[in-house]
Amino acid sequence: MKNEEHPEILEVIAYLKYESIKKVLYQYFKNLEHCDFYLTKSFVLGFLNFDCSEYQEEFKMEIEKCYYKGLFNEFIPALACKIEDNKEILEKLYLTGNENASTDCISGIILGLSLSKNGKNYLEKILFNPVWETCNAGTGNLWQTYFAFKKSGMRFSELFDYLEKLNNTDKIENALEVIFSLLKLRVKDYDDNEMESFEELLKIFFHNDDNRLDLLEIADKVNEFNEARHLENILEIKITEELFIDRV
């Protein structure tokens, strides 16, 4: 790139599936020690749009440097999802994230685990685990968790099913924080073909069957009623917006 102050251009070109950009991404990967955080993040996220079978062994070597450390190159573990036989790698990354890694270094592990084959199983284990701080926007974990949530095939209905079964106040508070954070990103997301519609979300969380508690009632147990009501209002607005756009 002529101007490395805007490395996100790598992500954009890769997202558009321009195959030749792979060579550029690989050049930065080979010179990893000279890449800052933002450049590394962009070339790694760029790789996620392509088959990278020719780079698997080199990816493995870099990922192995992250095992069981507190601090490491945050987004390198995301490349685990581009390695075919990665069962052992994923388990080691999971243990690293669960027991060793600083929350400043977890985003890449979340992606590597969740975007791999059967990644939904890992996401289910980490999504509501406070250790992973999946709803932390300050560290960037939230943005990558939302992306992983979309790509893993998880549904918001599954999150509500989990929440509904909780009795422990601390677990309810944590689960609500995660769900609220993901819903707030969902209402801003116009690339939404992979998830429930706003009408479906309103029904899941607020207008469900009479024999089930809704989100307002659950949130009220931990003094989060106002936040839940706010999200209900936003979903109603988004439904109106969709109707208006369809008619235009």
16 has pLDDT over 60:
yes
Is 43 a domain residue?
no
| pLDDT classification of 247: cutoffs 50, 70, 90 | low
Residue 194 has pLDDT above 80, yes or no: no
Both structure tokens of 174: 């944590």
Assess if residue 213 is contained within a domain: yes
pLDDT at 118: 87
Rounded Cα distance, 228 and 1, in Å: 45
| 230 in any annotated domain | yes
> Would the pLDDT of 44 be above 70?
yes
Does residue 209 belong to any structural domain of this protein? yes
Residue 164 tokens read as 């509904």
- Cβ-proximal residues to 45 (8 Å cutoff; 6+ apart), any chain: 10, 11, 14, 75, 78
Alpha helices by DSSP H, the chain: 8-15, 21-30, 37-47, 56-64, 87-99, 107-114, 119-126, 141-152, 156-164, 169-186, 198-205, 215-220, 225-247
Which pLDDT belongs to residue 184? Answer: 95
Q: What number is the average pLDDT over the span 232-245?
A: 86
pLDDT of residue 246: 60
Q: How large is the average pLDDT for residues 166-195?
A: 91
The residue whose two tokens read 């992973």 is: 132
Residue 244 has pLDDT above 80, yes or no: no
Degrees to nearest 5, angle at CA 98 with 172 and 89:
130
Evaluate whether residue 100 is within a structural domain. Answer: no
Domain assignment of residue 239, given as a range = 155-248
Give mean pLDDT, residues 106-118.
95
Is 113 inside any structural domain? no
d(CA 142, CA 218): 23
Report, as an integer, the average pLDDT of 20-28: 97
pLDDT band at 209 (very low <50, low <70, confident <90, very high): confident
- Averaged over 108-114, what is the pLDDT? 97
- Asked whether residue 59 is assigned to any structural domain, the reply reads no
Q: In which residue are the tokens 């599936």 written?
A: 17
User: Does pLDDT of 248 surpass 50?
Assistant: no
- The 10 Å Cβ neighbour count of residue 241 is 12
Q: State pLDDT tens for residues 67-84.
A: 999 999 999 999 999 999
pLDDT score of 211 = 77
d(CA 58, CA 200): 43
In the predicted model, is pLDDT for residue 146 greater than 70? yes
Between residues 51 and 5, which one has the greater pLDDT? 51
Mean pLDDT of 26-38: 96
**Sign (positive/negative) of CA torsion 83, 27, 103, 172?**
negative
Percent of the chain whose pLDDT exceeds 90: 85
Residue 21 lies in a domain: no
Does residue 211 or residue 177 have the better pLDDT?
Answer: 177
- Comparing CA positions, the residue from 24, 72, 73, 74 lying closest to residue 46 is 24
Alpha-carbon 36 to chain mean position: 22
Average of pLDDT values for 31-41? Answer: 95
Quick one: pLDDT band at residue 165, thresholds 50, 70, 90? very high
Three-state secondary structure call for residue 21: helix
Query: How many structural domains comprise the chain?
Result: 1
Count the alpha carbons within 13 Å of 225 in the hemisphere toward its beta carbon.
5
Question: In this predicted structure, what is the pLDDT of residue 161?
Answer: 94
